[in-house]
Structure 1
């Protein structure tokens, strides 16, 4: 498991890439990936292209990110999710809270 984050050159978009298992073991690294920035980005992108597993604690972490980003007014995108991960997100009704592609 690893979590890497990258800010766009204009500082408006933060991309967080999760590799491997996205579970409770990722909690601190995931939180650090967005809390360490002084300037709050306008858009957050969670790239799950290399995520192999997602559990309920990962869903909770996504909700914490959404709250950090501004709640209902936040722009948080979840991209590149595998069919299995997308199924979990759909069952959890996360498409109502996040832009999932």
Structure 2
């Protein structure tokens, strides 16, 4: 399940994923950021993610490209140890700010 919340005052979009973060989330994850105007930063809340695969990594890259590539301000927040391990193996710590 994917939920999104946009704070107009700060320009921060928060996307929360619950359960499996895989291809089944693709449509709702993409809609969460493509339909929001005025985003200056994005937090992806991984606190409720139980599984993360290569499709999830691709979706995060899509979000990064959409929000400015190298200039994007995206944080992957509340990641559990297993998710952090996968993100580090994929070198995503070089592309995103990752916090526990």
* TM-score using structure 1 length: 0.95
CA apart distance, 1:8: 1.1
CA apart distance, 1:9: 3.8
Corresponding residue for 2:61?
63
Distance in 2, Cα, partners of 1:73 & 1:32: 21
Corresponding residue for 1:93?
91
CA apart distance, 1:11: 5.0
Corresponding residue for 1:3?
2
Task: Show structure 1 runs of 4+ deviating over 4 A.
Answer: none
Determine which of 35, 44, 52 is the counterpart of 2:50: 52
Corresponding residue for 2:16?
17
| Unaligned runs of at least 5 residues, structure 2 | none
* TM-score using structure 2 length: 0.96
Distance in 1, Cα, partners of 2:63 & 2:2: 14
| Unaligned runs of at least 5 residues, structure 1 | none
